[in-house]
């Protein structure tokens, strides 16, 4: 079973790092196919922590090659910063770098004017709570056909023209927002500074990924963000500017749908969201605070407290549908320990009546319908199989599995690698 996509089923931050780490034990390639430095994983290396935003967490496994595919937008300066940190912490070395990390020459470069525009917009009325890393404006340039693929850095004269044209196009926008853009000269200084180290990492990565699949090697496509942040399928306009859903694995890495064998949906045992936008099951009370603190729900890119809420079963059914989810990795079940009761959203009250559907276009007005389930008090971190869990926790899992129509493959009961119940490993022949 070589081609496996791991995709967030909610608004991102479902605990991808741990699940990807578990699955990459055997994977030859880990491919990031969308987004940019708006994502963030905390890698724990001994007593030290490294936060990576661009490099997949598979980089910690020496037998794994990481690919940043062409659906991504890449801030070259940040990428080099991450590489340097990984090298200084002895997780990468200069000799093996080019064989461990490959970057698409068609991934677009996030340059300082993208970051400037993103930040200026976030100060104004149109703010949606972005991560201010320049992701949206970079994808806008790509769609407007004035973007700069990293491969363009091979030709400095061409890059200089593209930079000048892009800055000219963004200037009126910056002026209207009351700000300024960096000069073309400053941007070109940056390009010259990073170019010699970026160019050796570049390749036509679609060939790399397809070659591995043809050889029947295990390839993990690592989604970033989550289904409800997808540009097409999310809570527009409160979305990111890329395609985190599973179809993005194909378009974003140049692989046909026939090559994907399994789609795993990551589901956090409750719901979180960072940034603005509707969130019907949000908790603004002490229970929400409790979930935030127990689950350490603070953004790894911006440090912002995440909004927290109950699980939304119609939302998960929607995610199963738009991604074709075959199996679920349920994370952070341990965070729910200690609650007297747990509410689950089972449907919505809409102007058209009650519905089991997720009202994607009416989320701001639809009212969630809840059912109350029993909570459990005991710690569950030592559970090695489902039978070790308290009855109430098992009932919660059974309910999720039954309602969303996809089986549980993995249940995470603690933050450590061994605090995981694996029911079906996608790269171990199904068990
Ligand atoms: P952008 O991707 O920085 O443009 O932000 C657009 C929206 O997506 C904002 O609501 C962000 O908070 C959200 N977002 C982007 N990346 C992530 C992520 O990795 N986890 C959760 N939310 C994210």
CATH of the domain at 174: 1.10.300.10
Atom of ligand 1 nearest to the CA of 276: 10
Cβ pair 408, 423 in contact under 8 A: yes
- H helix and E strand count, the chain: 12, 20
The reported pLDDT for the residue numbered 1 is: 56
Distance 220 CA to ligand 1 centre (A): 22
- Residue 153 in any domain: the answer is yes
Residue nearest to atom 10 of ligand 1 (CA): 275
Q: Is 39 in the pocket of ligand 1 (CB under 6 A)?
A: yes
Asked if 350 and 256 sit in the same domain, the reply is yes
Which residue out of 8, 10, 12 has the highest number of ligand 1 atoms within 8 Å of its CB and is therefore the one to mutate?
12
Asked if 179 and 328 sit in the same domain, the reply is no
Q: Is 41 a catalytic residue?
A: yes
Per DSSP, the three-state class of 17 is helix
Atom of ligand 1 nearest to the CA of 118: 4
Residue 429, burial from CB neighbour count under 10 angstroms (0-12, 13-18, 19+): exposed
| Backbone φ, ψ for residue 114 (5° rounding) | -65, -45
Atom of ligand 1 nearest to the CA of 277: 10
Residues 175, 176, 178, 182: is their CA dihedral positive or negative? negative
Residue nearest to atom 8 of ligand 1 (CA): 240
Residue nearest to atom 23 of ligand 1 (CA): 225
Show which of 200, 226, 256 is a domain's final residue: 200
Asked if 245 and 389 sit in the same domain, the reply is yes
B/e letters for 252-278, b = 16+ CB within 10 Å, e = fewer, are: bbbbeeebbbbbbbbbbbbbbbbbebb
Asked if 389 and 322 sit in the same domain, the reply is yes
The reported pLDDT for the residue numbered 429 is: 59
**Closest of 244, 291, 280, 282 to residue 263, by C-alpha:** 244
Asked if 374 and 271 sit in the same domain, the reply is yes
**Cβ partners under 8 Å of residue 38, min gap 6:** 53, 130, 131, 133, 135, 224, 225, 240, 301
**Cβ partners under 8 Å of residue 119, min gap 6:** 132, 179
Asked if 156 and 270 sit in the same domain, the reply is no
Distance 135 CA to ligand 1 centre (A): 9
The reported pLDDT for the residue numbered 403 is: 95
How far is it, in rounded angstroms, from Cα 256 to Cα 261?
A: 11
Q: Is 260 in the pocket of ligand 1 (CB under 6 A)?
A: no
Q: Of these residues, 13, 21, 75, 218, which one is catalytic?
A: 13
Q: Is 326 a catalytic residue?
A: no
Residue nearest to atom 1 of ligand 1 (CA): 130
Which residue out of 33, 34, 225 has the highest number of ligand 1 atoms within 8 Å of its CB and is therefore the one to mutate?
225
Residue whose structure tokens are 């043809």: 214
Q: Is 420 in the pocket of ligand 1 (CB under 6 A)?
A: no
Q: Is 38 in the pocket of ligand 1 (CB under 6 A)?
A: yes
Asked if 277 and 168 sit in the same domain, the reply is no
Low-confidence ranges of the chain (pLDDT < 70): 1, 44-46, 429-431
Domain count across the chain: 2
Question: 305-360, pLDDT tens digit by residue?
Answer: 999 999 999 999 999 999 999 999 999 999 999 999 999 999 999 988 999 999 99
Q: What is the CATH number of the domain that holds 378?
A: 3.90.170.10
**Cα separation of the two ends of the chain:** 12
Question: 133-183, pLDDT tens digit by residue?
Answer: 999 999 999 999 999 999 999 999 999 999 999 999 999 999 999 999 999
The reported pLDDT for the residue numbered 45 is: 66
Show which of 148, 177, 200 is a domain's final residue: 200
The reported pLDDT for the residue numbered 301 is: 74
Show which of 140, 171, 200 is a domain's final residue: 200
Going from the C-alpha of 248 to that of each of 189, 242, 323, the distances in angstroms are 33, 8, 10
- Residue 217 in any domain: the answer is yes
Structural domain containing residue 253? 3-96+204-422
Other CB atoms within a 10 A radius of the CB of residue 294 amount to 17
């Amino acid at each position: 079973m070589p081609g496996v996509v791991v995709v967030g089923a909610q608004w991102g931050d479902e605990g991808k790092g741990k699940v990807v780490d578990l699955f990459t034990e055997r994977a030859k390639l880990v491919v990031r196919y969308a987004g940019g430095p708006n994502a963030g994983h905390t890698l724990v290396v001994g007593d030290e922590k490294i936060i990576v935003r661009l490099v997949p967490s598979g980089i910690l496994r020496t037998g794994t090659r990481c690919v940043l595919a062409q659906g991504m937008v890449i801030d070259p300066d940040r990428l080099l910063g991450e590489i340097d940190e990984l090298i200084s912490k002895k997780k990468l070395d200069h000799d093996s770098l080019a064989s461990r990390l490959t970057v698409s020459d068609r991934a677009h470069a996030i340059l300082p004017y993208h970051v400037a525009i993103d930040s200026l917009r976030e100060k104004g009325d149109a703010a949606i709570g972005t991560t201010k890393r320049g992701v949206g404006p970079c994808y806008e340039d790509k769609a407007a056909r004035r973007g700069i693929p990293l491969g363009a850095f091979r030709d400095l004269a061409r890059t200089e023209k593209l930079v000048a044209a892009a800055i000219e196009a963004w200037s009126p926008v910056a002026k209207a927002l009351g700000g300024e853009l960096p000069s073309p000269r400053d941007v070109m200084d940056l390009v010259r500074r990073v170019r010699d180290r970026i160019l050796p990492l570049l390749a036509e990565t679609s060939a790399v990924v397809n070659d591995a699949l043809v050889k029947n090697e295990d390839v993990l496509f690592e989604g970033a963000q989550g289904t409800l942040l997808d540009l097409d399928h999310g809570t527009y306009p409160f979305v990111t500017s890329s395609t985190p859903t599973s179809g993005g694995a194909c378009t974003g890495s140049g692989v046909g749908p026939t090559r994907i064998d399994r789609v795993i949906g990551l589901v956090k045992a409750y719901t979180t969201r960072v940034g603005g936008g509707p969130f019907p099951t949000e908790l603004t009370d002490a229970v929400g605070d409790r979930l935030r603190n127990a689950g350490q729900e603070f953004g790894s890119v911006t440090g912002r407290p995440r909004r927290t809420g109950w699980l939304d079963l119609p939302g998960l059914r929607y995610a199963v549908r738009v991604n074709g989810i075959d199996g679920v990795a349920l994370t952070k079940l341990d965070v729910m320990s200690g609650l007297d009761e747990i509410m689950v959203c089972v449907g919505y009250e809409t102007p058209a009546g009650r519905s089991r559907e997720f009202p994607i276009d009416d989320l701001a007005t639809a009212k969630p319908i809840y059912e109350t389930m029993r909570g459990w008090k005991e710690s569950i971190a030592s559970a090695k199989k489902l039978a070790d869990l308290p009855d109430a926790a098992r009932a919660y899992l059974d309910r999720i599995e039954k309602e969303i129509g996809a089986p549980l493959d993995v249940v995470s009961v603690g933050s450590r690698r061994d605090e995981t119940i694996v029911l079906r490993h996608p790269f171990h022949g199904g068990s």
